[in-house]
Structure 1
Amino acid sequence: MLNHPTYQQLNQLRLFGMAKALNEQQRLPELDRMSFEERLGLLVEREASERASMQTTARLRRARLKHAATPEDVDYRVARGLDRILFNRLLAGSWIKEHQNVLITGLTGLGKTWLACALTNQACRLGYSSLYVRVPRLFEELAVAHGDGRYVKFITQLAKVDVLLLDDWGVAMLTDSARRDLLEILDDRYNQRSTIVTSQLKVDDWHESIGDPILADAILDRLVHNAHKLDLSGESIRKSKRDLTKPSNQE
């Protein structure tokens, strides 16, 4: 470890990336051949890289993703009807900049939530704030917020998140209060932020699942018409993995 006043001062100034880079430079055999500008450039580059990494880590922690899914781990060999071209285009992030949505549908076990978390992970890497919520739990929290006076603050927080992941859409019929809350959330976000939705129901069935035809029209108008759709199909990946691990005498 380098014991030098400059190294100590960099740490005191919380320039930890520059301090690490300075320490590493002392062990470079070609150090004497590097100009001042080259050495300074490496220090600044390392500091910027360290800060970007820390900020991404903080965004991921605040996102509270259900799965630690990353774009690099997406298995395109799995037979689930995933549109690889579209998914890779989504990973580039232009849909977030343009305030569009992503709808991922398919039967249980096809990895909808995992893929949604991978997209959200990428959003965090690109510098966007994100948040994962299960729709049933969201409505429970909203019901409590109505009662304790936090509703406006809660809704405002949801409106500010760049990428909101709504998982398990349509697992139960909505109450009138839940429908109105959902409309408030999506109305605040429409053309301002991006939303990812996962659901076992096909998009064509969402209108009926919402319950109230007038509110359903308003909700889906703000969600579906500017959305990219990934409709997965095939057998459950989880079931396939369980079958592969069964002892032969249980087949």
Structure 2
Amino acid sequence: MFQGFPGSGKSYLGSALAKQARQHRYRAHYIRMPDLEESWASARDRPAGREKWLRKYAAFTLLVIDEWLLDTPTDDTRTMLLELLERRYDATSTVFCTQYAKKDWHQRLGGGVHADAIMDRIVHNTIWIETGEVNMREHTAAAN
């Protein structure tokens, strides 16, 4: 889990981790949460699309999801996340890049049973890396 302020390097670290994993011949994929949701929505229109989609994303040895919980997920997205994380649990690695502290996740996931189940599959075996409070984009712009 890479957690920190905007511009603190979360996306850079997640992307670099996926790239390095691919160079070592691991099946790795980096995707932004909005793109993951869009991909899931488009899978609905294909025959057996959602099952194929779940198999594809569950099979990555490393899946990096950036912009985690930037927007509150819909019911359909929560269902997808629960199924995807259940398939990946204890079998593969998932990295989340987020601005939000763990204490805010339950509410951002919409509360309730789905939020409980999603968090249960994430928080117990997670390594948390705080990327800090410095916005490197702002810092670099001010230096120029």
| 2:32 alignment counterpart | 134
Which residue in the other structure is 1:117 paired with? Answer: 15
Q: Secondary structure at the match of 1:198?
A: strand
Aligned to 1:240: 139
Structure richer in helix, relative to its length? 1
* Counterpart selection for 1:171 from 70, 83, 86: 70
Residues paired across the two proteins, number? 143
Give the alignment's Cα RMSD to 1 decimal.
Answer: 1.1
2:113 to 214, 218, 224: 214
Structure-1 residue corresponding to 2:55 = 156
Q: What are the within-5 Å matches in structure 2 for residues 9-48 of structure 1?
A: none
Q: Quick one: percent identity of the two aligned structures?
A: 34
Q: Which has the higher strand share?
A: 2
Q: How does the TM-score come out when normalised to structure 1?
A: 0.55
Letter in 1 for 2:95: I
CA distance in 1, matches of 2:39, 2:23: 28
Match for residue 84 of structure 2?
185
* Structure 1 unmatched runs, 5+: 1-102, 246-251
Q: What stretches of structure 2 of length at least 5 have no aligned partner?
A: none
User: 1:200-211 counterparts in 2 under 5 A?
Assistant: 200-211=99-110
Structure 1 CA distance for aligned equivalents of residues 99 and 133 of structure 2: 13
Report which structure shows greater RCO (CA 8 Å, sep ≥6).
2
